[in-house]
Amino acid sequence: RKEVEQDPGPFNVPEGATVAFNCTYSNSASQSFFWYRQDCRKEPKLLMSVYSSGNEDGRFTAQLNRASQYISLLIRDSKLSDSATYLCVVNQSPGGYQKVTFGTGTKLQVIP
Amino acid sequence: EAGVTQFPSHSVIEKGQTVTLRCDPISGHDNLYWYRRVMGKEIKFLLHFVKESKQDESGMPNNRFLAERTGGTYSTLKVQPAELEDSGVYFCASSQATGQETQYFGPGTRLLVL
């Protein structure tokens, strides 16, 4: 089993739709969680951190369920510019330093 | 503020040759990470420097890979001799402090070994 698992997609959704991605992780000692966005042939860029209480940034909502070991990302009112690959990233922080594991990413294509 | 930079952006070499990748982290960032993404796979951790010291190199695939960070500023990743399976995108990232700090990624070096 992979340490971080994501549905690779692609998710093809029309503009204005709401789309949700899930990510599961295997190591219960994982401490921090992030969603990164990666555009084609570009580097990953932080979209948002994920907290136990859930957090929202505009049209984006991220949630963490530690008991079930999964993280979700909800995108409301999808825009064409949201088309990208969304990477789930889990940080285990053993010994106080970061040990980051990436999921394979979920590809989103927003269609006009 | 300048971001993480990497050089070269692309490299095409023949099997058996040597290639050296360079990463300049964001100024003041003590933590520097190397990652690799091979075609169709997820981004995988290679190693982590704290200043000039290797904190974790558990992701380095084999002894053909050598990473250095002399002086705790920029880092180099040398592949010698390169093999076909080394082809991929090599990303560098940096962060300000250990713990849960956000990592900022460079644009990557696309390596193709023929």
Rounded CA-CA distance A29/B88 in Å is 30
CB-closest option in A4, A46, A97 to B98:
A97
Cβ–Cβ contact B83 with A under 8 A: no
Flag whether pLDDT at B14 surpasses 70.
Answer: yes
How many CB atoms are closer than 10 A to CB A14? 10
Percent of chain B residues past pLDDT 90, beyond the cut: 78
Chain A residues inside the 8 Å CB shell of B54? none
Cβ separation of A97 and B41 shorter than 8 Å? Answer: no
Query: Which residue of A lies nearest to B91 if distances are taken between CA atoms?
Result: A43
A2-16, A74-88, A94-108: which is most confident: A74-88
Flag whether pLDDT at A96 surpasses 70.
Answer: no
Q: Quick one: pLDDT at residue A97?
A: 62
Q: Classify residue A29 as left (phi > 0), alpha (psi -120 to 50) or beta.
A: alpha
Percent of chain A residues past pLDDT 90, beyond the cut: 71
Cβ–Cβ contact A104 with B under 8 A: yes
Mind listing the pLDDT tens digit for each residue in B19-72? 999 999 999 899 999 999 998 888 999 999 999 999 889 899 999 999 999 888
Query: Which residue of B lies nearest to A106 if distances are taken between CA atoms?
Result: B42
Size of interface A-B (CB pairs under 8 A): 56
Is residue B86 very low, low, confident or very high in pLDDT (cuts 50, 70, 90)? very high
